[in-house]
Structure 1
Amino acid sequence: MTDVGDDAPLTTSKHADPANDAAALGLEPHGDSLISRSVTINRPREELFQFWRDFGNLPRFMDNVERVDVIDQNTSHWVVTAPGGRTVEWDAAITEERPGEYIAWASQDGADVPNSGSIAFRDAGARGTVVTATIAYDPPGGVLGKAVAKLFQREPAIQARRDLRRFKQLMEAGEVATSARNRKELEEENA
């Protein structure tokens, strides 16, 4: 009997091997977990790419990202809040870029959270642009760390979905809708 291959996307396949799948997607094999999320945004592809490519914009809609310091055109330093409120940091380098379409990156040696990923921008006709984020990562603390992150809803699969939704809101409405007070409002209130 011939083995029938799984024709599901690599990030949803039941027979996935994250290291091989990351390589198949053109990512550096940094991590044992692979996730991918997409959203359609009613804005031109080039506009979305340019906004994302300015990594200093990312903390505006990425909930756990405290800051991204741009070191040079291809390297950046990330500071991210992990479950339990601790901070993790790493340097990341762009491994591939197609202007207006695609950015891939990989964390450099010594990262608190080894990771790699890509963000792709694909035309969706009159509907705008499909933005797809794909991330391979090693959760801090291994399987236990991944369970804790999931418990506190800080696991990258959950965060990617939420961050892309906030990106959509920011790009379509000019702001991120929230019912909670943000950190700046809380600091002003407590001052």
Structure 2
Amino acid sequence: MHYIDKAREQLADLVGKVVDSTAGSGNSQTLTISRPRSEVEQFWRDPGKLSEVLGDVAEVRSTEPGIYEWTLNPGADELTTWNTTLVEEDGRLRFVGKTGDDSTADPPEVELTFRDAPHDLGTEVTIRAKTPVPDIPTGAATFKALYRARALLQTGELPTLRHNPSARQAAH
């Protein structure tokens, strides 16, 4: 009976991944983070943590509870500011922007879904991004955000290639 339960669990995970990969639009990336689901979900609600993982792509701040202001391309000559409302659902967070005057347009959105990883390996996080600046959230950028979030959650540090001085003296 144990094998049947395991096969059912694997099938349910596979079906969930297929449904998630075809649902919605925009770029989508998934990564497993070795932390409890509640901790991972809370991480993504923190605008300071969002700014850290987005790095040079965007800065995020909370202007009031549930309202987030995203500044895309900080440091660039031309900035795009994007205001979103956080919509919390079971296993999902959505940062939904306003559509402006055209009510037929889909609103810009960043969606995160959370699922317990198989075999108690942590949390599977899927991110989909559809923003007002379509060139920014490429598959590589969404993966980079997930990768950086995983590093920060698991080690407390962000990966970097910047010079890291040590106690050793350089040879002269």
TM-score (structure 2 length as normaliser): 0.69
User: Which residue in 1 is equivalent to 2:37?
Assistant: 45
Q: Which residue of the other structure, out of 98, 117, 121, is the alignment partner of 2:89?
A: 98
After TM superposition, the structure 1 = structure 2 runs for residues 30-179 of structure 1, keeping only pairs within 5 Å, are: 34-81=26-73, 86-94=78-86, 96-98=87-89, 101-110=91-100, 115-124=108-117, 125-139=119-133, 146=135, 154-179=136-161
Q: Residues 137 and 61 from structure 1, CA distance in 2 versus in 1: closer, same or farther, beyond 3 angstroms?
A: closer
Cα deviation code 1:145-170 (max 9, x no counterpart):
x4xxxxxxx54321101110111111
Judged with a 3 Å threshold, the aligned counterparts in structure 2 of structure 1 residues 49 and 90 are, in CA distance, closer, same or farther, namely: same
Deviation at 1:134, TM superposition (A): 1.2
- Report % sequence identity: 26
- Residues 155, 109 of structure 1: alpha-carbon distance in 2 compared, 3 angstrom cutoff: closer
CA contact (8 A) 2:35 2:123 kept: yes
In structure 1, give the amino acid aligned to 2:88: E
Conserved in 2, the CA contact under 8 Å of 1:11 and 1:35? no
Counterpart Cα distance in 2 of 1:80 and 1:115: 13
Describe the superposition over 1:104-157 as per-residue Cα deviations: whole angstroms up to 9, x where unpaired: 1211245xxx621311111114211101101223546xxxxx4xxxxxxx5432
Partner Cα separation in structure 2 for residue 138 and residue 58 of structure 1 = 18
For 2:42 and 2:151, the matched residues in 1 are separated by: 16
- Structure 2 distance, partners of 1:10, 1:126, is 22
Report how far residue 12 of structure 1 moved.
6.1
Q: For structure 1, which runs of at least 5 residues remain unmatched after alignment?
A: 1-6, 14-20, 23-32, 141-145, 147-153, 182-191
Q: Any idea what the Cα deviations from partners look like across 1:42-77, whole Å, max 9, x if unmatched?
A: 000001111111223211111234422212222111
Instruction: Figure out how many residues of one structure are paired with residues of the other and give that number.
Output: 142
Q: Which amino acid aligns with 1:166?
A: R
Tell me which structure has the larger Cα radius of gyration: 2
Q: Distance in 1 between matches of 2:76 and 2:108?
A: 20
Q: 2:146, 2:54 → 1: CA distance?
A: 8
Distance 1:80 1:46, change over 3 A: same
Q: CA RMSD in A?
A: 3.0
AA in 1 matched with 2:72: V
